């Protein structure tokens, strides 16, 4: 296996705030999120780490993220905010909007599943995992934003994943450096705006992409149903609003998951 992504070429496609990102590509690692978190104290700039293959990729709630070299795009972006960690509530949803905007440039239409999945034709195309680290008081915080984007899923990988996922095989025919840079451009613009507006600046766009708007859904915690109601979108802080039999309920993102009722 060789590294087919070139930091030098990715840089030529970067624009605006993305031009300030330090770019790194590796053939294989355990987890790009874990690598950047371990290096936080040594980072002097926003940093991208993209791996051809991750052997211990992670999703939310400790789940594994399975991928194959050349068939997916797996990367993490470390970004420092002049904000405390608690002000980063809603960031995963804003990242979902950024990914949707980037894919739209290739005429790929997606929808968003609360709180951190990107869907294509009803199945998971990309996942987002954000981990944070506080720095010295009043010096802000770091967010390490991990993204896994399926491009081509063969039978062996599908069996390993064990649940239906989406893929778009023709994405593998694109210039991967250009695709990576397009994602970075949208992500960097989003992160700059998020520092200024928080999630409130993204809520209308997220709701316009909401996969389950008006549908009855269940919120689960380790398989236990916490809430059931009609999904009414998210509020300015990223809470999912449900219309339940007992009245409106606002659900904060955590290790809970969402499922369509009866699905």
- CATH (domain of 225): 2.30.30.100
Q: How many residues does the chain have?
A: 263
Residue 175: which of 10, 8, 7, 2 has the closest Cα? 10
Q: Is residue 224 annotated as part of the catalytic site, yes or no?
A: no
* Residue 223 and residue 203 in one domain: no
Pick the catalytic residue: 124, 176, 186, 239?
Answer: 124
Residue stretches of the chain with pLDDT short of 70? 1-3, 56-70, 137, 154-163, 254-256, 262-263
Q: pLDDT tens across 168-203, in order?
A: 989 989 999 999 999 999 999 999 999 999 999 999
Distance CA 128, CA 133 (A): 17
Q: pLDDT tens across 131-164, in order?
A: 999 887 678 999 999 999 998 876 666 656 656 7
pLDDT at 162 (0 to 100): 59
Residue 259: which of 161, 159, 146, 117 has the closest Cα? 117
Pick the catalytic residue: 53, 123, 205, 259?
Answer: 259
pLDDT at 253 (0 to 100): 77
* Residue 74 and residue 48 in one domain: yes
Pick the catalytic residue: 60, 80, 113, 176?
Answer: 60
Contact 215, 235 (CB under 8 A): no
pLDDT at 55 (0 to 100): 83
Q: Is residue 124 annotated as part of the catalytic site, yes or no?
A: yes
* Residue 224 and residue 177 in one domain: no
Q: Is the dihedral of CA 66, 68, 71, 76 positive or negative?
A: positive
Distance CA 38, CA 40 (A): 6
* Residue 119 and residue 162 in one domain: yes
Give the bridge partners for 259, in sequence order: 218
Q: What domain range is 17 assigned to?
A: 7-208
pLDDT at 229 (0 to 100): 94
Residue 112: which of 194, 227, 204, 49 has the closest Cα? 204
Q: Is residue 259 annotated as part of the catalytic site, yes or no?
A: yes
- Residue 62: inside a domain: yes
Task: Say what percent of the chain tops pLDDT 70.
Answer: 87
* Residue 156 and residue 39 in one domain: yes
């Amino acid at each position: 296996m060789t590294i087919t992504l070139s930091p030098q070429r990715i840089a030529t496609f970067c624009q605006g705030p993305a031009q300030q990102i330090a770019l790194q590509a590796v053939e294989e690692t355990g987890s790009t999120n874990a690598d950047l978190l371990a290096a936080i104290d040594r980072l002097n700039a926003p940093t991208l780490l993209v791996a051809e293959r991750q052997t211990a990729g992670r999703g939310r709630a400790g789940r594994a993220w399975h991928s194959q070299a050349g068939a997916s795009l797996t990367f993490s972006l470390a970004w420092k905010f002049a904000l405390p960690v608690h002000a980063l509530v809603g960031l995963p949803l804003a990242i979902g909007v950024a990914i949707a905007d980037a894919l739209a440039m290739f005429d790929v239409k997606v929808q968003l599943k609360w709180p951190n999945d990107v869907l294509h034709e009803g199945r998971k195309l990309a996942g987002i995992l954000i981990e944070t680290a506080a720095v010295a008081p009043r010096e802000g915080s770091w967010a390490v934003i991990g993204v896994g984007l399926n491009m081509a899923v063969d039978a062996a990988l599908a069996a390993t994943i064990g649940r239906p996922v989406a893929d778009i095989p023709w994405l593998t025919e694109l210039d991967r450096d250009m695709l990576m840079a397009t994602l970075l451009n949208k992500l960097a613009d989003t992160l700059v705006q998020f520092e200024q507006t928080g999630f409130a600046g993204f809520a209308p766009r997220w709701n316009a992409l909401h996969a389950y708007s008006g549908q009855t859904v269940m919120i689960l915690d380790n398989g236990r149903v916490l809430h059931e109601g009609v999904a009414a979108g998210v509020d300015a802080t990223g809470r999912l609003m449900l219309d339940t039999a007992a009245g409106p309920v606002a659900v904060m993102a955590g290790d809970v998951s969402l499922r369509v009722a009866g699905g």
